[in-house]
Amino acid sequence: MAEFEKYSDQELSYLFLSQDKKVAKGSFDEFYRRHAPKLYTFCYKLLKDKNKARDVFQESFVHLFERIEQRGEPIENLSSYLFKIAKNMILNIQRKKVLQEVPIKGDRWSVFQESLEDKQQKELLDIAINQLPENLKEALIMKEYLNYSYSEISDLMNISRDSVAVMIFRAKKKLKDLLKPILNELEIKEQDKYGR
């Protein structure tokens, strides 16, 4: 819908309320086109389950549209509101989860003794990220995977920009600490392999 590309998200939210169904649908379609990929990535990275991520993703857009219709007025900072909806749904799912993730024990780490290929490195990183506290994991994913600015993350998490910077610093430090034993072991094996 090229005719709606020129509008900001704020302007699109006004158009959602148009009596002209074509305008309302076109504006919503444009907003969806802009934000769907990042929202799905956000949901999947936090849930690690394609079906649950897809459900939260779809329900977030439905809830957003229903909320605008109920209010009868546009919502400021619409994309932040959309991500807050998804974040709250994800938190509800995680609260209801009966079984907690089992911490990684010694045998599981032995998988990483061989030299890592890209897929294994990604798996290793995902395992480490899942060990982070929820707020650090969320901030890190928004910054590193979704390329959000500190200001955007600050809006989404309702914290100061400085707090976001501290959280991301802590998340990266914690990741480094989690990965250090494995990376050290790999470095030693690599040195042994080349006789250094």
User: What does 41-102 look like in DSSP terms, one character per residue?
Assistant: HHHHHHH--HHHHHHHHHHHHHHHHHHHHHHTS--SSHHHHHHHHHHHHHHHHHHH-SSPPP
What pLDDT is attached to residue 190? 56
Residues 96 and 160 in one domain: no
CA distances from 125 to 11, 122, 180 (A): 39, 5, 12
Check pLDDT > 80 for residue 193.
no
| Residue range of the domain that includes 144 | 103-196
Residues 1 and 85 in one domain: yes
Residues 107 and 165 in one domain: yes
Residues 75 and 107 in one domain: no
Check pLDDT > 50 for residue 112.
no
Residues 170 and 89 in one domain: no
Q: pLDDT digit string (tens) for 101-111? A: 434 444 333 33
Lowest mean pLDDT of 55-64, 74-83, 84-93, 116-125, name the range: 116-125
What's the number of CA atoms in the CB half-sphere (13 Å) around residue 155?
A: 12
Total domains in the fold of the chain: 2
Last residue of a domain, one of 49, 79, 100: 100
Residue 13 pLDDT grade (very low, low, confident, very high; cuts 50, 70, 90): confident
Mean pLDDT for 164-187 is 82
Task: Say what the pTM is.
Answer: 0.59
CATH classification at residue 160? 1.10.10.10
What pLDDT is attached to residue 148? 83
Last residue of a domain, one of 62, 78, 100: 100
Residues 34 and 13 in one domain: yes
Residues 95 and 109 in one domain: no
What pLDDT is attached to residue 107? 38
CATH classification at residue 36? 1.10.1740
Query: Which residue has better confidence, 133 or 188?
Result: 133
Last residue of a domain, one of 100, 128, 147: 100
